[in-house]
Structure 1
């Protein structure tokens, strides 16, 4: 599975601020005012936002959308719009699941850090001491790789080995000395976590449910597929036609730390709110998760990161309002974005069953700036 290229992992929230508004619960009920406040302090009604999203979906060509907006660490606006499948014309509902792509990495990073707090994993202990990795044993440098390196993309692993001419896993630079976005590292770390818990890898789903999904109100989220996922998952679309995408599909229902999460906006927003409120981890562990580990890196190919830095499992975008955290996800026929300010307790997350999250993100920010 090829994820969204790094150049598309841009973050536009440097110019966005949703000011806090009055009370709302953490699910899908409307607020008493039905108002979102824009960056300029102007009010946006729910009907205006509805009209904007529907018009953009139509003009961009997005079949289905699940979106949640967070103010004051609460979900103040949520919609499930459009079609689950263009062939069947079945409409989305609030239970409809989307392929989260690379945004799967952030909850997995939290899970790894939970095991740090429990004394099971150490961020700076070489992973091979927990579990040797035969696929890369030919390169002794792999014995330098730690969980911290994996979560900050400094392990030296490629994104995916199948992009190499020989299809074999290699190390692009001495671990800890450079930056390269890598799904391979996350998958190795998933094997390590399962080994340390003395469970099968797919049983990490149960650990995820206990440690993250239940306590952080991520009620509708699955790394491992089941009958519920199969029934409620949207169909992916590419160029307006149903397309299974590059990654998670019915033939690959196993736990994949880097891309297999199936979820929707309200559930993922619950997780974001948990991060905002520092729920579930020790204070010093949250400090490690949110601090910059790699500042404004360049990819090996010379591709710049648009002034984005990396925390653990998240991008950090510096702004005049303080740091914004986020990640993009893409699996050809599913794309998504989340962004939030921990300090301001604001943000948003959306999932689409199309290739057009970047286009929608640009239009959404422009709309909110004008109001």
Structure 2
């Protein structure tokens, strides 16, 4: 029995070592990225690799604009919804400092009822919720787990007003306006400037010198435009307002630093760091978008998929992991981390067509992770290497 146990343990160790892929060489990564760009026709792509909580590779490929200027590791790129992960990291620091409680009603932080605040184009029209007291049940945890009950944004509603589609906290449905509401609570309830807080608590901490929640004039000298699905070019948007849902500009070098610091838990208590990537709420839909869709029957739900705080968490062949995507008409970003070995891949693409290669590129670096690509991208046809 002892010999059998030893053999069993050795076999398990070998399986684990096989699943834990070695970090590819730069030459190998370059070749795989080139194949991915050829297959998808993507014009620009940047990749960072983190191993044992340290940045080990930062690479960029292709062009940053239609003129053919090279995409570099310090080129300014749109972070899109990766902003939400940096925002959640900031929020958790406030929780560690007892300035915010994840499970306290947002009403406890506001000087007057939420619907009584005048409409402000920096946020959402909270006045839409007048007469509906369900807003009082909303907590920071609910907002960070996309379970407030809102559509993604109020302006996609037929009447361009904010509505509850289900009881707060009862299920997952992606909502940028939920993040904006937590930003409002921090700015109006705690009297903090979110842009300044994220600059101090995240960007300065991790040496992210080319990252900001608002447009900076110096970004113009090395800026990435984007390519849409049809191959047309979209100019980089100079965002003039801090938006927790997605206003961050960054670079692949800066996102590498953030990813390494995040997976190490730097700047957070051990409990706070663990809370971010802890399964908080089951995910019950077949895909992430559209954000408001029927829940699957219990037997068809992916049991290992859940909302974390600002990220989505999963379990796969290498254990527990988390990820966050970011997307618009000309941007595709992904960030996948495995807690075992503190290993991550960050991909920023200024061409939305590159998204079809993300599963293969992540697999090439990390091995099979179990990341829920179909849930994230729906019916997209992914590129697979021969």
TM-score grouping bracket, smaller chain normalisation: 0.7 to 0.9
Paired residue for 1:296? Answer: 283
Partner SS, residue 96 of structure 1: coil
The 1:175–1:280 alpha-carbon spacing in structure 2 relative to 1, beyond 3 Å, is same
Choose the corresponding residue for 2:155, options 144, 162, 177: 162
Distance 1:167 1:83, change over 3 A: same
Given that residues 157 and 180 in structure 1 are in contact (C-alpha distance below 8 angstroms), is that contact kept between their aligned partners in structure 2? yes
Q: Which has the higher contact order (CA 8 A, sep 6+)?
A: 1
> Following the alignment from structure 2 to structure 1, what is the Cα–Cα distance between the partners of residues 267 and 170?
31
User: What CA deviation, in whole Å up to 9, does each residue of 1:175-213 have, x standing for no partner?
Assistant: 1112211100100111111124424xxx42221121111
- d(CA) in 2 for partners of 1:291, 1:49: 31
Aligned to 1:33: none
Greater Rg, structure 1 or structure 2? 2
Q: How much does 1:156 deviate?
A: 1.0
2:135 match: 142
Corresponding residue number in structure 2 for 1:195: 188
Provide the residue aligned with 2:256 in structure 1.
269
Matched, 1:153 2:132: no
**Could you tell me whether the CA contact under 8 Å between 2:19 and 2:317 is conserved in 1?**
no
Distance (Å, rounded) in 1 between the aligned partners of 2:344 and 2:227: 26
Matches of 2:194 and 2:16 in 1, distance apart? 35
Task: Give runs of aligned pairs for residues 1-371 of structure 1, distance below 5 A.
Answer: 39=19, 44-86=24-66, 88-131=67-110, 132-134=113-115, 135=126, 136-199=129-192, 203-238=193-228, 239-244=230-235, 249-250=237-238, 252-298=239-285, 300-302=292-294, 307-365=304-362, 367=364
SS at match of 1:318: strand
State the Cα distance separating 1:367 from its structure 2 match: 4.3
Q: How many residues are paired up?
A: 329
Q: d(CA) in 2 for partners of 1:49 and 1:162?
A: 41
The Cα shift of 1:139 comes to: 1.5
- Residue 225 of structure 1 deviates from its aligned partner by 1.1
Superposed CA deviations along residues 102-138 of structure 1, whole A, max 9, x for unmatched, are: 1110010111111112222111111122234322233
List gaps (5 residues or longer) in structure 1: 1-16, 20-37
How far is the alpha carbon of 1:291 from its aligned partner? 1.3
Q: Distance in 2 between matches of 1:176 and 1:215?
A: 32
Question: What's the CA shift for 1:358?
Answer: 2.6
SS in structure 2 of the partner of residue 174 of structure 1: coil
Measured against aligned partners, the alpha-carbon deviations of 1:73-102 in whole angstroms (never above 9, x if no partner) come to 12222112111102x221122221111111
Structure 2 residue aligned with 1:26: none
What displacement does 1:40 show?
7.1
Give distance in 2, aligned partners of 1:120 and 1:350: 33
Distance between the aligned counterparts of 1:18 and 1:346, measured in 2?
14
1:106 and 1:149 mapped to 2: Cα distance? 15
Q: C-alpha separation between the residues in 1 aligned to 2:327 and 2:34? A: 21
State the TM-score, normalized to the length of structure 1. Answer: 0.82
Could you say if the C-alpha distance between residues 359 and 142 of structure 1 is closer, same or farther in structure 2, counting changes exceeding 3 Å?
Answer: same
Q: How far does residue 143 in structure 1 lie from its aligned partner after superposition?
A: 1.0
Partner of 1:101, secondary structure, is coil
Aligned to 1:31: none
- Alpha-carbon distance change, 231 to 130 in structure 1, aligned in 2, over 3 angstroms: farther
The structure-2 alpha-carbon separation of the partners of 1:366 and 1:149, relative to structure 1 and needing over 3 Å to count, comes to closer
Q: Is the 8 A contact 1:158 1:181 kept in 2?
A: yes
Find the residue that maps to 1:84 and give its secondary structure: coil
Counterpart secondary structure, 1:79: strand
Which runs of no fewer than 5 residues in structure 2 stay unpaired? 1-14, 116-125, 286-290, 368-384
How many Å separate the matches in 2 of 1:152 and 1:188? 13
